[in-house]
Amino acid sequence: MDTSETERLSFDEGALDRALAPYVQAVEDELQRDMSSRTKLTNMAYDYVKGGGKRLRPSLTLLFSESLSGSYMDALPIAAAYELAHAASLTQDDIIDNSATRHNQPTAHTLHGVTTAILLSDVMLFEIFQRLADYGDLDISKEQLTALIGYLAKSAKEAAEGEFLEMQLTKKVDQTLEDYVRLAGLKTGALFGAAASSGAIIGKGKPRVVKDAYEFGRSLGIEFQVVDDILDITGRSEEMGKPMLKDLQNDASNVVVIHALAHADPKTRGILRAAITRSTYGLADVAELLSVFDDLGSVEYASRLAHKHAALARGRLRRLPEGPPKEKLEQVTYWLESRRR
């Protein structure tokens, strides 16, 4: 890693928040449209959407559109659609994983019960069609709208395939790192990729630029998932907004664990397998696991994998016009490498 990359990795998280603030606010405003026509159920759904994270996916949509056309205004409906899709997938993930909190807030099924949480996710998903219908009043071509629908459908199907693959892989005795990258590309990368490519479509990018945008987002999504796995192992629960080692308690695929199992001796592998099936972890358990991961270089491996996919993502920006939107997209890749929560 050269000096310039090291310097970029050291910039503080607040810098990214400030850089993305106008896009995040634009998405928030778009999500809050037509409040008067909402029912109690839709208001509950939007209350859950408001509790989301950094709005990275819709921000990618707006940034690609602005980079190519000079404006992100026409990209707002599809950007909001991707935030709704993301929120719906999180609602379902939390039910599947039986997670009590997210971002330090109670999950939807914890607050309202499983049945209502499922209905809330349905509301979010069906609202996506309303956002697509907004393009009837905007100046985009039939071909653009068809492409937007195609990418949205592709991302939804691949995310579902990713969830199903994860359930299958958790039952597999020896997951491989290739299994993991495929899973991350489906479960996380597909939504990032489609959000980015949709911005390029609205920005009237050429087909190769739209493809680059998709591959940028897919690589960024894999990077995001890898870093999330690292933080599940090394982060503090109050910073992460979920219990430490929650992925292990759910018997989920985690790149750090997969690497450790692949490189451990039989005795250590037995210790790790026992830990994976444990329902709770004390401080001594955490210290023991961290020591094993450190000895095997598993966290270091995962960090290198994240760096690899960050670099792949940056390589896909070469055809974008130089300017602030492109610089912010690059910043996102560096921030994900260095994030701590």
How confident is the model at residue 94, as a pLDDT?
A: 82
Work out the average pLDDT over 222-240: 80
DSSP letters spanning 119-153? HHHHHHHHHHHHHHHGGGGS---HHHHHHHHHHHH
The sign of the dihedral angle between the CA atoms of 117, 115, 253, 247 is positive
160-165 contact pairs (CB < 8 A, 24+)? 161/186, 162/186, 162/187, 162/188, 162/190, 163/92, 163/93, 163/96, 163/187
Pairing of β 101-102 and β 105-106? antiparallel
Instruction: Check pLDDT > 70 for residue 279.
Output: no
- Work out the mean pLDDT of the chain and round it to a whole number: 86
> Which of the residue ranges 30-39, 40-49, 258-267, 323-332 would you say has the lowest mean pLDDT?
30-39
Q: What is the C-alpha to C-alpha distance for residues 147 and 152, in angstroms, rounded to an integer?
A: 9
Entry pTM? 0.88
Tell me what percent of the residues of the chain surpass a pLDDT of 70: 85
Q: Does domain 3-333 have CATH number 1.10.10.10?
A: no
Instruction: Check pLDDT > 90 for residue 47.
Output: no
How confident is the model at residue 202, as a pLDDT?
A: 97
Q: What is the C-alpha to C-alpha distance for residues 163 and 93, in angstroms, rounded to an integer?
A: 8
Instruction: Check pLDDT > 80 for residue 97.
Output: no
Instruction: Check pLDDT > 50 for residue 238.
Output: no
How confident is the model at residue 5, as a pLDDT?
A: 56
How much helix, strand and coil, in percent to the nearest 5, is found in the chain? Answer: 80, 0, 20
Secondary structure of residue 203 in the 3-state scheme: coil
Tokens of 143: 């071909």
H or E element that contains 222: helix 207-234
Work out the average pLDDT over 271-289: 70
Q: What is the pLDDT of residues 124-135, one digit of tens each?
A: 899 999 999 999
Per DSSP, 99 falls in state -
Q: What is the pLDDT of residues 192-228, one digit of tens each?
A: 999 999 999 999 999 999 999 999 999 999 999 999 9
How confident is the model at residue 155, as a pLDDT?
A: 94
> Side chain identity at 22, as an amino acid letter?
P
Tell me what percent of the residues of the chain surpass a pLDDT of 90: 52
Q: What is the C-alpha to C-alpha distance for residues 156 and 130, in angstroms, rounded to an integer?
A: 16
